Amino acid sequence: MRMNAGVREHLLHFDNKYSPEIMDFATNTALKTSKYMFVTTYKKQQYGYCTHCNTESPTHLPKLSDRAIAEREMCGCPAAMYMGEEYERKKHGEKVICPNCKSECIVRYAGLGHSRLKDYAYFVFYEKSQLNPNMIVARGIHAARDYGSDYKKVKTQLETEVYYTFEYKKMGKMIKPISTSWRDPYHLGFSKTVHCWQHPYTYCYYSRESIKNAVENTPFAWSGWEGYDYKDMLEFFDLYARYPAIEYLNKLGHKQIVTEKLESGHVNYNVINWKGKTIESFFKLTKEEYVIIKQQKLDITSWLLNLIRMNKERDFGLTIQEIAALADNTRNESTILDILKTLGKYMSFREAVKYCLKQSQKRKLYVHSFYMLTRDWQDYVSECKKLNMDTSDMRVLFPNDLYKAHMNTTAQIRYAEDKVLTEKIIARLPELSRFYFKSDLFFIRPAENSFELVEEGKALNHCVGRYAKDYAYGKTCILFIRKAADPDQAFFTVEVNNDQLIQVRGFHNCAPEDKDLIDFIDKFKNEVLPSKKKKQKNKVPA
């Protein structure tokens, strides 16, 4: 295996052997589900071999003979006492508890093929450096147990796949065997970015106990790693090695900033000076701003810091408390730009923020979502203009309850639109009168207004309401089937287009099944809707 001198020197930090602690973690944690009980039967007695503790024992109590059961029955003992589960043989795939090591095992019939029974796991184990007492190292280890041959001789096999080194105030290093092509021999190389390396579909374990032992008496002992559980912790130690100021962030209660950095890979908005010497320079804040934040017990996030910076650069005039409230209700700069673009035309940014905060207090819908609030406000203003309302009046432009005012203007526009559609539908009714048809049990008639269509859709839980415009403008015909005994109750809806029956739908779009109703619909088609032959017969010759 080829490797350069730097890689060869770096590997000296690692122990080539696997300690008992690593073997124990691999077997009992990473491969904790890889425990089987292979069963065989000899003279009606089943025996199980536990692959975890390597012991064999009976899997059930021997069944009593009929004579023995009869003798016990004579003493008053019911026979059912000797026919329970503990007297039954274990079945393939069943989960059992090993009587020796108390591990949960999966039963496997020894006589069945198990050549493909292999279990894999990947884990990260931390250790102290073999050369530098202030460094910590970690190994990404692939573990496997192969039950393909003799299940009584299975051992946990380990192979190190990745080598990590962490030195205080320096960037972490990741070394892994890589190949430049399929034909080239493998060689070791450095990776510039420390990250978790694992096989697809394999969960990555890591040992927190190994971290505790590795960081003892090293600068990493003060990193505050105990408060984090992010992936396999490799990226955390890489971050701390490069930016020791994380120690002060943890002590001062600013864990959120570190979490953001780990989860996103970078903190947005360029608001963190990771090499700052003081907490104020770290956050790019003045002492007065930081004191107010601590007094108000505000959570410092990169988004809050970005809003503070924007407040200074654009002279918004917001207080720290108002900025914190704005940070809670927004998520990105696009929302700020929306507020500036919409509400900012009529008032200062500070007044606009106060208005938004007031509306969020009135309606939970707008809490943490100023984006939705600005969208609703834009819709509201557009509807006000359609209704010829005076948008120069600030009381109209910025109602006391935006949600309520928006619902009101929407209802007015819908009413106005429905009124127009209804007028057109009423105008069509004379030509639709030919569709009136009735029998002793049912009758059919056209819808008389748009409101009826909406109510029909609600009652039968289908989408006929969206046909209102097409119906009003003569693109289709919507008819209602009613029972003669219950004329006001929605029953079935019919669509007719070009004198052709398109569809008949009832509750939840169901088709008619009642024989009387089907006969009524067929009679309607034959007597009211002209067939193609009738059309051709009545066609006026040219």
Residues 6+ apart with CB under 8 A from 241: 166, 167, 168, 169, 170, 171, 172, 220
Q: Per-residue pLDDT tens for 186-231?
A: 556 777 778 887 776 678 999 999 999 999 999 999 999 999 999 9
- In this prediction, residue 113 carries a pLDDT of 87
Query: 217: which DSSP letter?
Result: T
Supply the Cα-derived Rg of the chain in whole angstroms. 39
- pLDDT mean over 308-323: 93
Angle at 311 between CA 324 and CA 283, to 5 degrees: 70
Over range 280-308, report the average pLDDT.
92
Q: What's the whole-number average pLDDT of the chain?
A: 88
Match 């090591």 to its residue by tokens. Answer: 101
Q: What's the CA gap between 126 and 263, in Å, rounded?
A: 22
CA atoms within 13 Å, Cβ hemisphere of 233? 29
- What is the C-alpha separation between 312 and 281, in angstroms, rounded? 16
Q: Is the pLDDT of residue 82 over 60?
A: no
b/e sequence 158-168, b meaning 16+ C-beta within 10 Å? bebebbbbbbb
The rounded percent of the chain whose pLDDT value lies above 70 is: 90
Q: Is residue 260 a contact partner of residue 228, using CB atoms and an 8 Å limit?
A: no
Query: 110, 95, 100: which is closest to 46 by C-alpha?
Result: 110
**Contact between 338 and 374 (Cβ < 8 Å):** yes
Confidence of residue 34 (pLDDT cuts 50, 70, 90): very high
pLDDT of 241: 94
Give residue-wise pLDDT tens across range 251-263: 988 998 999 888 8
Structure tokens belonging to residue 494: 């019919």
Lowest mean pLDDT among 173-182, 239-248, 533-542: 533-542
With a cut of 90, say whether residue 462 has pLDDT above it.
no
| pLDDT of 542 above 50 | no
β-pairing, 95-97 vs 104-109, is antiparallel
pLDDT band at 540 (very low <50, low <70, confident <90, very high): very low
Alpha carbons 30 and 121: distance in angstroms, whole number? 6
| Residue type (1 letter), 406 | H
Q: Please give the Cα distance from 291 to 286 (Å, whole number).
A: 9
Rounded distance between C-alpha atoms, residue 268 and residue 246, angstroms: 17
**Does residue 98 contact residue 122 with C-beta atoms inside 8 Å?**
no
Phi-psi region of 44 (alpha: psi -120 to 50; beta: other; left: phi over 0): left
Q: What is the mean pLDDT of residues 88-104?
A: 92
Note the pLDDT tens digit of each residue in 208-219.
Answer: 999 999 999 999
- pLDDT tens per residue, range 480-519: 999 999 999 999 999 999 889 999 999 988 999 999 999 9
Q: How many residues make up the chain in this entry?
A: 542
The helix/strand count (H/E) of the chain reads as 20, 16
Cβ–Cβ under 8 Å, residues 161 and 242: no
Residue 479 has pLDDT above 60, yes or no: yes
535, 528 in Cβ contact below 8 A?
no
- Please provide the distance, in angstroms rounded to a whole number, between the alpha carbons at the two ends of the chain: 95
Reported confidence tier of residue 453, pLDDT bands at 50, 70, 90: confident
| Strand (E) or helix (H) holding 471 | helix 468-472
Question: At residue 410, what are phi and psi to the nearest 5 degrees?
Answer: -65, -40
Residue labelled with tokens 């203009």: 385
At residue 496, the pLDDT reads 94
Whole-number Å distance between alpha carbons of 208 and 214: 10
Distance CA 328, CA 182 (A): 52
Residue 128 has pLDDT above 90, yes or no: yes
Predicted local distance difference test score (pLDDT) of residue 469: 86
Distance CA 227, CA 194 (A): 20
Confidence of residue 57 (pLDDT cuts 50, 70, 90): very high
Q: Is residue 71 pLDDT above 80, yes or no?
A: no
Expressed in percent and rounded to 5, the helix, strand and coil fractions of the chain are 45, 20, 35
Strand partners for 120:
144
Nearest to 473 by CA among 427, 417, 433: 427
Instruction: Pull the structure tokens for residue 122.
Output: 């990947």
- Note the pLDDT of residue 387: 85
The whole-number average pLDDT for the span 119-146 is 95
